[in-house]
């Protein structure tokens, strides 16, 4: 795990449940957490999710962040497993974020693709 990650990311993924986080799930998570190129992505996601939470959520912030961050990683694992290329990856991840009301720059999404599929 990269020491420069936002604290909430470190807390959420500090002790991944081995029942869920194994094989491709664990290796994808580890790539996302250790690669320095992901720092900007994680920071942006944390900022966006905090703002979304402030717009209204019944969950406490930490629980909301945990839920959303794990859902994000699950989406990345699925897209990586499908392995349909960077165009499909970017389009699908953009649709995922749009459904959630999250606007993440395409360059950051491309960086996620590179980290998970070209590492």
Residue 30 lies in a domain: no
Residue 18 lies in a domain: no
Residue 27 lies in a domain: no
- pLDDT value at position 119? 62
Residue 31 lies in a domain: no
Condensed to tens digits (0 to 9), the pLDDT of residues 56-67 reads 888 899 999 999
Residue 2 lies in a domain: no
Residue 90 lies in a domain: yes
| Structural domain harbouring 107 | 7-13+38-117
Residue 44 lies in a domain: yes
- pLDDT value at position 86? 83
Segment 23-49 shows an average pLDDT of 93
How many Cβ atoms from other residues are within 10 Å of residue 67's Cβ?
Answer: 14
Residue 109 lies in a domain: yes
- pLDDT value at position 44? 95
Condensed to tens digits (0 to 9), the pLDDT of residues 15-33 reads 888 888 888 889 999 999 9
Segment 67-86 shows an average pLDDT of 90
Global pTM reads 0.89
- Residues 67 and 53 sit within 8 Å (Cβ to Cβ): no
Total tally of structural domains belonging to the chain: 1
């Amino acid at each position: 795990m990269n020491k420069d990650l936002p604290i909430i990311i470190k807390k959420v993924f500090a002790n991944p449940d081995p029942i869920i986080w194994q094989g491709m799930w664990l290796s994808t998570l580890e790539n996302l957490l250790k690669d320095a190129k992901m720092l900007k992505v994680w920071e942006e996601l944390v900022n966006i999710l905090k703002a979304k939470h402030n717009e209204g959520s019944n969950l406490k912030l930490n629980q909301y962040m945990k839920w959303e961050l794990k859902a994000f990683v699950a989406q990345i694992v699925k897209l990586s497993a499908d392995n349909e290329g960077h165009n499909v990856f970017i389009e699908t991840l953009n649709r995922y974020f749009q459904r959630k009301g999250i606007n993440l720059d395409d360059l950051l999404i491309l960086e996620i693709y590179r980290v998970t599929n070209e590492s």
